[in-house]
Amino acid sequence: MFSFTKEQNIYEISGIKIGGQPGIYPTVLFGGLFFKGEPNFISAEKHLKRMLNLSKKLGNPSIPDFFIRKEQYIEKILNFIEKKFPKNHPFSIDIIEPDLKIKSLELLDKKNLLSRTIYNSIHVGITNEERDALRLHTPNMAIIVAFNPKDKSPDGRIEVLQNGANLTDTGLLNITKKLGIKKILVDTAAMAPGDYSGAAIAAVPVIKEELGLPTGCAIHNVVEKSKWLDDFKSVRKQVDASSNVSIPMFGGDFAIFGPIHNSDIVFPMIAWQDILISEYVENYFGIIPDDSHPRRKLF
């Protein structure tokens, strides 16, 4: 459990605060939708309602992470967000292909949704066309993935953020700020098992101490790619969900916890962990939790 000497940035989007010293604000939880197959909007609406109710009850903010993997899904998914999701709630769009990113940004702007959008993500593969689109259609907040293929240590992640590690013309932080995005979250880039995957967690306090930025990751990706867990199917979901506990334990601010249908397990686990951290840091460092914190809601 940590208290950082570096001043910690706190960013707000639609009333949700992310960042700060551990123990002040609850861990923000991103639940993913539409990873596979045709988007099922009936199921999505049900899971979103459940996640929002858990958030309200326990205190951990919830942000849906909409994965867009085909062009024909862009308008359908954004229409769903516009019509079926609460008007004042933030969301993230998770897109791999640069062309789909550009088209999604254009439509988000047209629908006046950019003020609620968290862009997932900016990384060393950013194209000039993507940069141009982000300048024209600037989201409220962006996630930077601190992936450095040449050096996967925590220091390598810092390097790619600060100077680009000779992979980009300048550091990813500078690129993002030049695009007009002032609210930045850092994803420490969880890799496959055996590929220095533990560094994703070790990098959380390093980045918080060095840069003071809200930091987290999708550590569940490591679990998802751990094929040996196929021999333990009865506990795979619990292992996936519980992996996220390591993020707040190491001082992190947000967890991209994977499929939204894991919300029932993830939310109480992280609320419990946040309560333990809050109790400790208040007694030891004098850090007072916000009124939204699970410790305030549940005790």
DSSP H helices, 113-212, are 128-136, 154-162, 172-178, 199-211
Confidence label for 1 from pLDDT (cuts 50, 70 and 90): low
Question: pLDDT for 106-125, tens place per residue?
Answer: 999 999 999 999 999 999 99
In this prediction the pTM is: 0.97
Please give the structure tokens belonging to residue 86: 């609460």
Question: pLDDT for 151-190, tens place per residue?
Answer: 999 999 999 999 999 999 999 999 999 999 999 999 999 9
DSSP secondary structure string for all residues of 225-274: T-GGGGGGHHHHHHHHHHGGGHHHHTT-SEEEEEEGGGHHHHHHHHHHHH
Domain boundaries, the chain: 10-298
pLDDT of residue 221: 92
Question: pLDDT for 232-265, tens place per residue?
Answer: 989 999 999 999 999 999 999 999 999 999 999 9
- Show Cβ contacts of residue 222 under 8 Å, excluding neighbours closer than 6 positions: 190, 191, 192, 193, 197, 200, 243
pLDDT > 90: percent of the chain: 93
Do you know the residue count of the chain? Answer: 299
Can you tell me the distance from the alpha carbon of 142 to that of 278, in angstroms, rounded to the nearest whole number? Answer: 27
pLDDT of residue 193: 87
Question: pLDDT for 188-218, tens place per residue?
Answer: 999 988 888 999 999 999 999 999 999 999 9
Q: Which of 64, 67, 79 is nearest to 38 (CA)?
A: 67
Q: Would you tell me which CATH number, out of the four given (3.20.20.20, 3.10.620.30, 3.30.230.10, 3.10.180.10), belongs to the domain 10-298?
A: 3.20.20.20
Q: Tell me the pLDDT of the chain averaged across its residues.
A: 96
Question: Is a pLDDT exceeding 70 seen at residue 89?
Answer: yes
Can you tell me the distance from the alpha carbon of 125 to that of 154, in angstroms, rounded to the nearest whole number? Answer: 19
Give the containing element (helix H, strand E) for 76: helix 71-84
- Helix axes of 263-285 and 233-242: crossing angle, nearest 10 degrees: 40
- CA dist 121 → 171, 187, 213, 251 (Å): 15, 9, 16, 22
Question: Is a pLDDT exceeding 80 seen at residue 2?
Answer: no
Give the containing element (helix H, strand E) for 186: strand 183-187
